[in-house]
Amino acid sequence: MSVDDGLVMQLHPGIIRNHHTPTFDRFGPDTGHDLPAVGAFTEPLRPLLEAFGTAPGFHLVLFTVDETVFSREIGPLAGFYPAVYAGAPWWFIDTPAAIGRYRSAITDSTSFTKTSGFIDDTRAYCSIPARHDMARRADAAYLASLVVTHQLSEEDAVRTARRFVSDIPRATFKL
């Protein structure tokens, strides 16, 4: 249906919601006790991607908090299939170190344009500016590491940093 209607398909597997029942009972959902589960994408998505992975206009954004799957599955899938994008895990593992691990794990396979850029679905609205600032700083630190190791020019790093927060999310989500 996403091929027909043009909407972007997103998958967010690999989370065990409300893992600790006493915390859930006391504080309710979305209070920080959602934990990662082992994820798999390559084999489960094979039928979908064989049918639509190269279909014009189809976008499939894959999200997970299982860090082991970034380089093993999501990066290679996004690197091969025009329809697949690596979703940013900032909505859950929003620490500078985790963002660096994500960028390191997927960039070689995907390039920057096959990622989703920073997006946020937090219900803690007051945290949005701080989370965006932290994500931008972590992405800038990753780009700076590529500059100092002569893998990227300073000019390209500045252009890419701007693209992370505007062009890339807009293109990925067809905005």
Looking at residue 174, its pLDDT comes to 92
Q: For residue range 153-174, list pLDDT tens digits in order.
A: 999 999 999 999 899 999 999 9
Query: What angle (nearest 5°) sits at the alpha carbon of residue 136, between those of residues 134 and 142?
Result: 105
Residue 32 DSSP code: S
What CATH number has the domain bearing residue 142? 3.20.20.140
Looking at residue 91, its pLDDT comes to 61
Task: Give which of 99, 95, 33, 31 is closest to 70, Cα–Cα.
Answer: 99
Domain range for 16: 2-172
Amino acid sitting at position 81: Y
The answer to whether the beta carbons of residues 108 and 75 sit under 8 Å apart is yes
Low-confidence residues in the chain, pLDDT < 70: 90-93, 121-123
* Domain total in the chain: 1
Q: What is the pTM of this model?
A: 0.89
Token look-up 């398909």 returns 9
Looking at residue 92, its pLDDT comes to 64
> Token digits for 69?
């799957």
Tell me the C-alpha distance between 90 and 102, whole Å: 9
The answer to whether the beta carbons of residues 66 and 14 sit under 8 Å apart is yes
Query: E strands within 3-94?
Result: 9-11, 15-16, 35-36, 60-62, 84-86
